[in-house]
Structure 1
């Protein structure tokens, strides 16, 4: 989670963990990082459990559909290369996709959001 957070903030995105950041930036453009607990797997028949797989979601938010898509593209660029996980080798995050951009009319003014899921695999 820390490595993904660092990659996103390094790309100039404002990141909230599990929801909107506090405070929400004046531009209303941000991403919310949601992380599942992940799974540990065996690397060999010797039962060495050093492989780890994590699914996470980056929900991109903006005041217009275009700005929401801008945040999504910035997220893709930030996660295009391998993320740095201390003491581990990490593959490049795999984008799993998500639904189309949606408008949230439950907030005023309305915001647009796009949840995109990724999978990250690492080994020791």
Structure 2
């Protein structure tokens, strides 16, 4: 059997708010309850299992490779919500889309301040 990533736990200030946010931005079906988690399933069968944190949340980075059409849709959703986004992970270029490596790429923060990256193939 090939080794595959199956899931990762995403600690959040409010798992429902964070899971709903990701589902909305990426156009995913609603998260599914699974024990103490809310699971967001991606097309490669990996799930991001959102869980309420007890205390501080260690900030993480989650990158999503998406199609050109999905990129346009996600960017439109981000803009419709008037969310800040950047072309770089250092957040030096607000409101810009990176095309440096032949793909399109943006970064935004989820409600728990995790850095989400969405990008297309170059």
Q: TM-score, normalised by structure 1?
A: 0.32
Indicate the structure (1 or 2) with the bigger Cα radius of gyration: 1
Q: Which has the higher strand share?
A: 1
